[in-house]
Amino acid sequence: MSAFYHSCRYFLLPVLFVAGALAAISFYQVNLQQWQQIIDQLPYWLLTAAIIIALQFNRSRLGYLALLLLGYYFYSTELASSAEQQLYWQQILLGGGLVISWFAFIKDRGVLSPHFFIRLIGITVCMAASFFWVWFNTEYQQQLDDYLPANGQINFRVLLPLYLCVSLVWILGLWRANLVHTSIFISLILWGAHFLAPELVALSISMTLLAALYILTVLSDSYFLAYRDELTGLASRRALFNLVLSLGRKYSVAMVDIDHFKKFNDTYGHDVGDQVLKLVASKIAAVRGGGKAFRYGGEEFTIIFSRKDVQSVLEHLEAVREAVEDYDIVLRDEQRKSQSKATRSKDQSRNQFKTVSVTISIGVAEHENGETFEQTMKRSDQALYKAKKKGRNQVCS
Ligand SMILES: Nc1nc2c(ncn2[C@@H]2O[C@H](COP(=O)(O)OP(=O)(O)OP(=O)(O)O)[C@@H](O)[C@H]2O)c(=O)[nH]1
């Protein structure tokens, strides 16, 4: 998966999705008014659900964020008068912004662990820092105005840390795109918008959206963990057996195995073996003819062709075999990281990149009437064994 595709899928897409939802809500705002009472209660229910689900699936950062948002929603709708909120809006905006941003940089940890106290201390420090920052800027406003350029007005100066946080979290989101991070980034934007442009989105709407986003993030992340192979990004064996339940009578199963992979691992090391597995997996995933690729386990892959007989899939499997055979894999030289820049450019000029290549063997079988999936798979395994015995790097049926 290219880095661009990755950041589109895990960062830009959710951001656009939330922006689209907000646009739709503001478009239908008039129609929603009759549901106002329910909408005002929704954040309580959904944020509570988000806390339970996030903690259940060990996504502690989203759990804590949902808890803090729930607390803030209760404070602003039930506890504080609007005069009190006006008085401390900068501190709360800045403190909340710092907390949300800090969450983007830490890891999910167990709730019942010493990390819980570290999170509490962190939240307290963020709030204290924001109170101090606002006090400092107000107290020394005159002196700061004298020394700083004209655009260093009080509001801009007070909120400067927030702007920096948004930029940092945004950059981190593009670089390390994942759904939890994107949810944190969106929380930061909606948090800022609530204070700086309150007319844009009602608090109940933004809280409801965030709670829904957290729940979706946790559930889809967990689905991904269960059904995707972490190393190659292919669907996992569990996903394969899920798909089997929906297969009709006509399908073909191909088993793919990298040739002499043990020797490869022994020669180049397990890390390089992992790199090669990833690259081979990307070639297998590109199979045409409606094939769906899975990592079966180790260096074995399975391709399922629904509604296809063996004769019609052979050319596509042959194309995959050729693609792997023709692929010169350039190895990342781990030593290069520790070399000086000068040595590295000398190495490059001597063209010292190491390239390797591997081959794969494939066995394929077609489902026959009365057979279970396991039996068809066993026959494709036997065909794979035949391919290995005949000298490897070929497709057998
Ligand atoms: N690097 C790496 N190696 C793996 C992984 N999973 C399995 N392997 C290795 O794959 C190798 C499989 O070797 P074998 O099943 O003996 O077969 P082979 O060497 O590929 O030989 P043939 O199948 O007979 O061509 C073992 O050395 C495993 O350690 C993995 O995730 N990463």
Q: Are residues 221 and 277 in the same domain?
A: no
Q: Are residues 200 and 262 in the same domain?
A: no
Q: Are residues 241 and 370 in the same domain?
A: yes
Q: Are residues 160 and 30 in the same domain?
A: yes
Cβ–ligand 1 contact at 262 (below 6 Å): yes
Dist CA 137 CA 139 (whole Å): 6
Distances (CA, A) of 197 to 43, 115, 191, 194, 203: 20, 35, 10, 6, 11
Cβ–ligand 1 contact at 273 (below 6 Å): yes
232 in any annotated domain: no
375 in any annotated domain: yes
Cβ–ligand 1 contact at 260 (below 6 Å): yes
Predicted pLDDT at 336: 47
Average pLDDT for runs of 10 along the chain of length 397: 70 86 83 84 96 90 95 89 78 94 89 83 95 89 74 74 93 84 94 89 92 94 86 92 90 96 91 91 94 94 95 96 91 53 49 79 95 95 96 95
Distances (CA, A) of 321 to 181, 208, 315, 360: 38, 50, 10, 6
Q: Are residues 154 and 295 in the same domain?
A: no
Length of the chain measured in residues: 397
- Residue nearest atom 11 in ligand 1 by C-alpha distance: 262
Q: Are residues 269 and 221 in the same domain?
A: no
Pairing between strand 360-366 and 300-306?
Answer: unpaired
Helix (H) or strand (E) holding 330: strand 329-331
Q: Are residues 166 and 200 in the same domain?
A: yes
Q: Are residues 170 and 302 in the same domain?
A: no
Tokens representing 144 are: 């700061």
Predicted pLDDT at 368: 94
Per DSSP, the three-state class of 110 is coil
Q: Are residues 92 and 166 in the same domain?
A: yes
- Amino acid at site 49: A
User: Which of 184, 204, 227 lies at the terminal end of a domain, its last residue?
Assistant: 227
Task: Write the CATH number for 290.
Answer: 3.30.70.270
Give the pTM. Answer: 0.71
Predicted pLDDT at 28: 81
Pairing between strand 329-331 and 354-356?
Answer: antiparallel
User: Which of 181, 200, 227 lies at the terminal end of a domain, its last residue?
Assistant: 227
**363 CB-contact burial (10 Å; exposed 0-12 / middle 13-18 / buried 19+):** buried
**Residue 294 contacts residue 301 (beta carbons within 8 Å):** yes
Cα 397 to middle of ligand 1, angstroms: 23
Q: Are residues 301 and 217 in the same domain?
A: no
Structural domain total, the chain: 2
Predicted pLDDT at 381: 96
Where do we find the tokens 């057979």? 371
Predicted pLDDT at 35: 84
- Residue nearest atom 7 in ligand 1 by C-alpha distance: 298
Residues 198-233: tens digit of each pLDDT: 888 889 999 999 999 999 999 988 888 888 898 998
Query: Where in the sequence is the domain holding 43, given as residue range(s)?
Result: 3-227
Cα torsion 135, 138, 141, 142: sign: negative
112 in any annotated domain: yes
Predicted pLDDT at 352: 59
Q: Are residues 215 and 244 in the same domain?
A: no
Give ipTM to 2 decimals.
0.93
User: Which of 201, 227, 253 lies at the terminal end of a domain, its last residue?
Assistant: 227
**Angle (deg, nearest 10), helices 89-105 and 60-74:** 170
Predicted pLDDT at 114: 80
Q: Are residues 390 and 242 in the same domain?
A: yes
**Residue 385 contacts residue 363 (beta carbons within 8 Å):** yes
